[in-house]
A and B are shown apart, each in its own frame.
Chain A
């Protein structure tokens, strides 16, 4: 008799747990779908934000140039918040004497200190948002003529976050 009661109890508990489990999943699915809108499930899509950039001016020793990034959010479902921006590397493309490449590479400094203090949140499908980094590229004051008329490029990395 006791054994039968225990079995009954276990069965009742198992049935209850199963029902509640299904109910819990249903609740989760309901809440999730209502949060995500037309997108079902937790895997929200977020396409890469488009970033182009340009540097202002031709540098002479001791001068700094602005870098302006143009941001475009191609996502029609979420906003894109600029979370961080970091300076990458300097690559010397051409210099009078290739033996001076290493020297000239070290004469260029990158900085994000002058970036706009407020990182923007791009609206849905917002295009061509300008983001300026003041004095982002600097040619050291003691740079000698070996580096004149050289061409180079700098790399920058922007990190975006999807927000509602």
Chain B
């Protein structure tokens, strides 16, 4: 009875060479599985190796700076602006000054006159015209 796992290859020039098909298939499948497993293991090693240098960190830093002072290129631009603002309030005060001077003079004038006029009323004095001396006093 012929072995079912053995068969003669059709067209084989050497009829004595017989291939064990089942065994070949098994070996092929095993080889594929082995290759796949080793491949995945190698991939894992590769990933692990790459993971080390692949670690990165990003750092942001802030740095303070300042600028100095230097001579203005156009000093007149700002110099002319300032005096204008300064002269405006300076000229304003002279106007009010006349007002206070007017206020005191008006009451003074009538009052200075009034006493002299009041002093004159002693018209009663002429009632004694015999004495011309009082007129000399004034």
Contact = CB atoms under 8 A, between A and B. Distances in A.
B51 A43 contact: yes
B61 interface: yes
A5 B67 contact: no
B22 interface: yes
A79 B105 CA distance: 96
A139 B65 CA distance: 11
Interface string A64-89: 01010100000000101001000010
A71 B59 CA distance: 10
Interface residues of B, number: 41
A46 interface: yes
Contacts of A78: 52, 55
A44 B25 CA distance: 43
Interface residues of A, number: 68
Given A24-B38, A150-B67, A153-B62, A145 B73 contact: yes
B105 to A, nearest CB: 51
A19 B88 CA distance: 101
Among B22, B45, B66, B69, chain A packs the most CB atoms within 10 A around the CB of: B66
A58 interface: yes
B65 A152 contact: yes
B59 A13 contact: no
Contacts of B61: 51-53, 69, 155-158
A55 interface: yes
B30 A48 contact: no
A71 B57 CA distance: 13
Nearest to A45: B55
B133 interface: no
10 contacts: A16-B30, A17-B30, A50-B59, A59-B66, A61-B70, A78-B55, A148-B69, A149-B69, A150-B67, A163-B52
Given A9-B26, A58-B66, A160-B59, 12 more contacts: A5-B22, A17-B33, A28-B48, A42-B48, A51-B59, A52-B61, A53-B61, A61-B70, A148-B69, A161-B53, A162-B52, A163-B52
Interface of B: 4-5, 22, 25-26, 29-30, 33-34, 36-38, 40-41, 44-45, 47-49, 51-70, 72-73
